Amino acid sequence: MPSSRTSPSFPDSEYWDRIEKTRAAMEAEGLDAILITDPSNMSWISGYDGWTFYVHQAVLLSMEGEPVWWGRGIDAAGAMRTVFMEEDNIFGYADDYVQNPDKHPMEDLAKLVDAYGHGTQRVGIEMDNYYFSASAYKTLLKCLPKADFQDCTGLVNWQRTIKSEFELIYMRRAADIVTAMHEKIRNFAEPGMPKHKLVAEIYHTGISGVGGHWGDYPAIVPMAPSGLDATAPHLTWDDTPLRTGEATFFEIAGAHRRYHCPQSRTLFLGKPPQKYLDAEMAVDDATEAALEQARPGNRCEDIANAFNAALARHGFIKDNRCGYAIGLSYPPDWGERTMSFRAGDRTELLPGMTFHFMPALWLDDGGIETTEPILITENGHDRLCDTPGGLVVKA
């Protein structure tokens, strides 16, 4: 009996294409099977979608047949509602394994891996992945002493870099959503408004969606620090009022069917001091220089090098990466954890790749983020959003 999906995001053929690509990568690494525990990889390969990654779960992919979903017993019903596989390939474990120091769910997964004939084979595991804990690893080693475990962190992620037509449709819808969210900020923000009131509007716009396309939850909540708090890149919000003379950056994403389009803008209430205008010009110039390099055949580091050189001409330095791959994701990160725009990343840019170009500058008394999500095309790149550039200045 097949699972009972009511609104699948992709035709089954797309999952089989993904599996074929992944198996080629597995073969190149000499792997007989992999245990996929990154929720975004699980979803990409099987369609699984649920907020269940706070308990141990996995997809087992062998060199033949359908993937196998494994998770908490009560979540097997959610797998039935979302994955493309047959019901026979969905396995749930007993509830007393949940957050119980006396037993570990991976004991159950080990039995399944063994039953599928991989107990003495070469099995890939995502060693540096959220949710695959040190204890999960130790338990697998103990329960399957004859298996040859290999680190396959990133193996599935790397198959996801070039987006399909369906994926690009979803990302463009997410782009429309984040564009609307920034428009909301421009129109709604005013001096004295408590920050959380503005964030409530941002959420409302993001989930309401655009053009008849619903908003999904982004893998990161809005980051929206003001003033000195904006010297830190990853603070969220409280009820402090927006103040005249202060900058606030909004690092937010639109999301649709788990696909993300992040974009940041910086709001300044009142007249920006010269330092902010200088930083704005530096970021604008460096962005133009960097995006000139965003075309097939160039490498990730070409973008970073062009960006840093242009920034340096304006007297600014940025010592962290200026972009990363984006697409399907689950908390806590909307990046794909593969390519980064930084020195040393020599990955070749190819049509269909999608990135968040992230030329953020954190100054000693605030921060500026004016970022662009982009798609590498046959001849260059497209900006996914048409949000106006530069500082958002309101009186």
Residues from 6 through 45 that contact its own copies (CB under 8 A): 6-7
- The β-bridge relationship of strands 247-256 and 366-368 is unpaired
Query: Between helices 195-208 and 165-188, what is the axis angle to 10°?
Result: 150
**387 scored as a contact of its own copies (CB under 8 A):** no
- Binding-site string for its own copies from residue 144 to residue 163, where x marks contact by CB under 8 A and - marks none: -------x-xx---------
Tokens of 206: 């993001």
Can you tell me which of 13, 64, 99, 395 binds its own copies, judged by CB under 8 A?
A: 99
Is residue 363 part of the contact set for its own copies (CB under 8 A)?
Answer: no
Smallest gap from residue 319 Cβ to its own copies (A): 6
Size of the site for its own copies (CB under 8 A): 87
Selected binder of its own copies within 64, 234, 315, 317 (CB under 8 A): 234
Q: Rule CB under 8 A: is residue 78 a binding residue for its own copies? A: yes
Query: Do the beta carbons of residue 197 and residue 190 sit within 8 Å?
Result: no
Which residue among 80, 171, 283, 311 contacts its own copies (CB under 8 A)? 80
194 binds its own copies (CB under 8 A): yes
Block residue for tokens 């992620």: 157
Rounded Cα distance between 100 and 97, Å, is: 6
List the 247-256 sheet strands across, edge first.
Answer: 247-256, 259-269, 392-394
Given a contact cutoff of 8 angstroms between Cβ atoms, the answer to whether 293 and 308 are in contact is: no
Complex with its own copies: residue 136 or 384, whichever CB lies closer: 136
Q: Which of 1, 134, 317, 395 binds its own copies (CB under 8 A)?
A: 134
Which position among 18, 104, 163, 182 is part of the footprint of its own copies (CB under 8 A)? 104
| Cα 338 from chain centroid (whole Å) | 10
Q: Does 319 bind its own copies (CB under 8 A)?
A: yes
The interface mask with its own copies, positions 328-347, x = CB under 8 A, is: ---xxx-x-x--x-x-x---
CA distance 69 to 79: 7
One residue of 235, 281, 312, 350 binding its own copies per CB under 8 A: 235
Q: Which H or E run contains 24?
A: helix 12-28
In the complex, minimum distance from the CB of residue 16 to its own copies, in angstroms, rounded to a whole number: 24
If one asks whether residue 92 binds its own copies (CB under 8 A), the answer comes out as no
Binding-site member from 59, 174, 180, 220 for its own copies (CB under 8 A): 220
Considering only the stretches 133-141, 168-176, 273-281, 372-380, report the one whose residues sit in contact with its own copies under the rule CB under 8 A. 133-141
Show the binding pattern over residues 47-66: x = contacts its own copies (CB under 8 A), - = does not: --xxxxxx------------
- The answer to the question of residue 199 lying near its own copies (CB under 8 A) is yes
CA pair distance 368, 311, nearest whole angstrom: 13
Applying the rule CB under 8 A, the residues between 281 and 310 that interact with its own copies are: none
Give CA–CA dist 266/390, Å, rounded: 8
Q: Does 75 bind its own copies (CB under 8 A)?
A: yes
Residue 179 Cβ vs its own copies, minimum distance, rounded to whole Å: 17
Q: How many CB atoms lie within 10 A of CB 48?
A: 26
Residue range at the interface with its own copies (CB under 8 A); choices 27-35, 111-119, 178-186, 192-200 = 192-200
Say if strands 90-93 and 68-72 run parallel, antiparallel, or are unpaired: parallel
DSSP annotation of 53: T
Which residue has 């960097």 as its token pair?
290
* Residue 24 vs residues 29, 100, 153, 159: alpha-carbon distances, Å: 9, 38, 16, 10
Binding-site member from 8, 17, 21, 98 for its own copies (CB under 8 A): 98
Residue from 21, 122, 186, 197 touching its own copies (CB under 8 A): that is 197
d(CA 85, CA 65): 10
Asked if residue 183 binds its own copies (CB under 8 A), the reply is: no
Residue with tokens 């009142």: 270
